[in-house]
Amino acid sequence: MSVGLRLLGLCIFLLKNVKTDQIGFEFQPFPVLKNDNLLRAARGEVVDRVPVWVMRQAGRYLPEFQELRKLHDFFTVCRTPELACEVTMQPLRRFDLDASIIFSDILVIPQALGLTVEMHAGVGPVLPQPIVVPEDLKRLTPDGALSRLSYVGDAITMMRHKLEGRVPLIGFTGAPWTLMGYMIEGGGSKTMSKAKAWLNEHPEDSKLFLNLLTDAIVDYLEMQVKAGAQMLQVFESSAEHLSKEQFLEWGVPYLKRIRDELVDRLTKKAIPVVPMTLFAKGAGHSLKEQSELGYDVIGLDWTVDPLEARNLVGPNITLQGNLDPQDMYRDPEELRNLTTEMVHKFGKSRYIANLGHGITPQTPITSMEVLVEAVHKAL
Ligand SMILES: *[C@@H]1O[C@H](CO)[C@@H](O)[C@H](O)[C@H]1NC(C)=O
Ligand SMILES: *[C@@H]1O[C@H](CO)[C@@H](O)[C@H](O)[C@H]1NC(C)=O
């Protein structure tokens, strides 16, 4: 190539990339973030407006999501970056949201560890060969698990470009106890009785299992940050099955290790640390303990009172939540009032509005419009 052509190439590169910020995994610069209220709220900085997003905002309540799912099965959507990005973008086309969250599933880690996970319509995830006895842990394949998750990184990087800096992109993972539960039960469970029996009957193997998952999770989150995730949420959705004492023994130490090791690794590699949210559903009994783990944001389910939560976590933690997803089925005026009351209780500082759990499939579209508008107008 001639010197002239190379110079021309360099000039085009510089022109294309002159206004960029964070450097991604492939060292491609990303578009500058325009609405950073989510990240500012997470860091305790002043916001223009209370940021709002909704757990499972890319989901079955959207007709365009249902249409896409008729053509592609659930995990194909997760594994195909173009499809994952399309689904991630769907709610942003309709609503004035302040965050996007990459479309994926917490069970991609058990898959990468060698377990089959199927999504059955009307049932949810099914793992046909669950971990039944400690001996079964030998079937797990932690070596190479991260490379089998590279499609999530690809989707995150692609999404950062497609977002054009409109709102931040959140990455996420399931927490160790929650993943262990699905892997032992072979799917969701109303009681988690088999997984809880493990904690009593095989305490040492339970620790091995939780540590193996914790290692995989730290690798996975590091990869997501390198790929361009601007914030991370850890879903301990099955905390609700544990007593406070059990949560402190089987949840908290691993949640702490995730945060500490991720921060340590990123810092050593001079990669900027992103804000992290812990959402331990049903663990309102341990908010003080959760606030001491180093997470920037604590997600609340709807059973927790905002003012009590603030008293327990102190002034330096951001709270996220916590409208009952069932309130999305109320009249628009009632929903608007409940949302306004909620935002008034939490206040404008260190607060991210959300539901207290994922949005449910029959939710009317208008409820999302009412929720988002009411949050933005409340303060
Ligand atoms: C909150 O953070 C401020 C500023 O860093 C610090 O001075 C204060 O002691 C912290 N408060 C608590 C309760 O941790
Ligand atoms: C909603 O709030 C307004 C203003 O406080 C009040 O007048 C109205 O009665 C409330 N509506 C409902 C359905 O609660």
**Residue 316 Cβ < 6 Å to ligand 1:** yes
Ligand 2 in reach of 334 Cβ (< 6 A): yes
- Report which protein residue has its CA nearest ligand 1's atom 2: 316
Residue 15 has pLDDT above 90, yes or no: no
Question: Is the C-beta atom of 314 inside 6 A of ligand 1?
Answer: yes
Task: Please give the pLDDT value at position 44.
Answer: 98
Q: Find the 37 Cα to ligand 2 centroid distance in Å.
A: 29
CB 320 within 8 A of CB 298: yes
Q: Percentage of the chain surpassing pLDDT 90?
A: 92
Cβ neighbours, 10 Å, residue 44: 15
Q: Taking each helix axis as running N to C, give the angle between helix 203-227 and helix 193-201, from 0 to 180 degrees, rounded to the nearest 10.
A: 120
Q: Supply the pLDDT for residue 17.
A: 44
More confident residue, 8 or 353: 353
Q: Give 344 Cα–ligand 1 centroid separation in angstroms.
A: 23
Residue nearest to atom 14 of ligand 1 (CA): 316
pLDDT digits (tens, 9 = 90+) for 284-331: 999 999 999 999 999 999 999 999 999 999 999 999 999 999 999 999
Residue 28, pLDDT score? 62
Q: Range of 285's domain?
A: 33-316
Look at residue 171 and tell me whether its pLDDT is greater than 50: yes
What is the pLDDT confidence band of residue 22, given thresholds at 50, 70 and 90?
Answer: very low
In CATH, what number is assigned to the domain containing residue 295? 3.20.20.210
Atom 13 of ligand 2 has which residue's CA nearest to it?
Answer: 334
Q: For residue 115, is it within any domain? A: yes
In the numeric block, which tokens belong to residue 36?
């950073």
Pocket test for ligand 1, best of 45, 296, 298, 316 (most atoms within 8 A of CB): 316
Q: Record the pTM.
A: 0.93
Q: Note the pLDDT of residue 18.
A: 38
On average, the pLDDT of the chain sits at 94
C-beta of residue 208 within 8 angstroms of C-beta of residue 140: no
Give the active site residues: 56, 60, 69, 105, 182
Question: Tokens in use for 313?
Answer: 């976590």
Rounded to 5°, angle at Cα 162 from 160 and 163 = 65
Q: How confident is the model at residue 19 (pLDDT cuts 50, 70, 90)?
A: very low
Is residue 349 in some structural domain? no
- 334 within domain boundaries: no
Contact 333 CB / ligand 2 (< 6 Å) = yes
Q: Is residue 357 part of a domain?
A: no
Number of structural domains in the chain: 1
Could you tell me the pLDDT band of residue 251, with boundaries at 50, 70 and 90? very high
CA distance linking residue 322 with residue 298, whole number of Å: 11
In a domain, 28, yes or no: no
CB neighbour list of residue 299: distance below 8 Å, 6 or more residues apart: 233, 277, 278, 279, 280, 319, 320, 321, 322, 354
347 within domain boundaries: no
Least confident of 17-21, 140-144, 198-202: 17-21
Q: Decide if 54 is inside a domain.
A: yes
**Residue in 327, 330, 331, 333 to alter for ligand 2 test, most ligand atoms within 8 A of Cβ:** 333
At 169 the three-state DSSP class reads strand
Using CB atoms within 10 A of its CB, is residue 253 exposed (0-12), middle (13-18) or buried (19+)?
middle
Q: Is residue 62 in a domain?
A: yes
pLDDT at position 11, please? 44
pLDDT beyond 80 at 23? no
